[in-house]
A = this chain, B = another copy of it.
Amino acid sequence: MSHNTFGHLFRVTTWGESHGPAIGCVVDGVPPRLALTEADIQPFLDRRRPGQSKFVTQRQEADQVRILSGVFEGQTMGTPIALHIDNTDQRSKDYSEIAERFRPGHADVTYELKYGIRDYRGGGRSSARETAMRVAAGAVARKVLGPDVRIRGALVQVGADTVDRAAWDWGAVEENAFFCPDREAAARWEQQLLELRKSGNSVGAVIEVVAEGLPPGLGAPIYGKLDAELAAALMSINAVKGVEIGDGFAAATLTGAENADEMRMNADGTVAFGSNHAGGILGGISTGQPVVARFAVKPTSSILTPRAAVDRQGREVEVQTKGRHDPCVGIRAVPVGEAMLAIVLADHLLRHRAQNPDAPSVARLPRN
């Protein structure tokens, strides 16, 4: 049991505070002889990097990753891979506002009550800066999954405004500042967020992540279910308050007849599912269909609007957070969600292989 480790066979341990000298992670359990260099990881970090548009925090970090171990002559060795990013923009600023005061809706107060000490600079360990290492580890996880598995994410809701699924275009996702698959929604969100930013407020969002090209059989009953561990992975991302798989909460409104993903056979002996209400997971085990999950991110609690709060001495105060913050933290959660999905899947791929080395890589029937 480790509070800063995720995964079992593919295993990520992160460390570092927002304004310490560096952040890093150790990725253990990676199979040997996979090609891996910093160039495989950096593009994913660049997608998450702060300071790239006016809709995300203006902190300037190069987020240049270095591989310190586990790779030899461009190949993994099966030994732990240490990834390291120096913190470069630890702007010298006045932290008196948050050093002694607890922002409502922020981890400040719970860290104080639990530990009696915290690095208040930029949120310390509770900062979303930690998610850079998730993204880096996620890039390694993609290597473990191999080129046939495709993992993508998109922002599907900002505030109450959702994308039009009929207008979904994965190509659009990389064209706008929001990872939005619906060009019209992206335009609306631009307006909405400019206004929010001006008013010193923030807003929540919903992200969808999808994995295609998976084998069936990933995940395991009862407490190693793929969806259970994916729920933990996504809920562990900063500010996430809800997770759903497939139809999710909407499944509660369906009848059994409606919810059934009916099956026919493809000519090649694989199962053809008529729908994917289940989000690619039945009984905690992947069906071979795309795995689909969504998660809700609350609005950031670091806002310019003054809020009633208390301080370390138990005095009633007001808090108003100046500094560089995201009007919609949900945006940068897209690459983080993708990374967590990749990490969970890589872990389950190794676990599946250990117990079921002869399982089919596609949903073929009869199995033998």
Contacts and interface: CB of A to CB of B under 8 A. Distances in A.
B216 A271 contact: no
Nearest to A203: B255
Contacts of A247: 241, 298
B126 A255 contact: no
A240 B244 CA distance: 9
Interface residues of A, number: 166
In the complex this chain forms, how many copies of it are found? Answer: 4
B365 A313 contact: yes
A363 B105 CA distance: 15
A282 interface: yes
Interface stretch (A43-51, A116-124, A146-154): A116-124
6 contacts: A2-B223, A4-B222, A24-B82, A32-B355, A78-B117, A113-B287
Interface stretch (A167-175, A183-191, A259-267): A259-267
A251 B302 CA distance: 15
A310 B271 contact: yes
Nearest to A313: B366
Contact of A255 (B202, B225, B260, B310): B202
A257 B233 CA distance: 27
Contacts of A117: 32-33, 72, 75-78
A210 interface: no
A121 to B, nearest CB: 9
A202 B24 contact: no
Given A125-B79, A221-B4, A357-B357, A243 B260 contact: no
A77 B252 contact: no
A172 B223 CA distance: 32
A13 B1 contact: no
B356 A254 contact: no
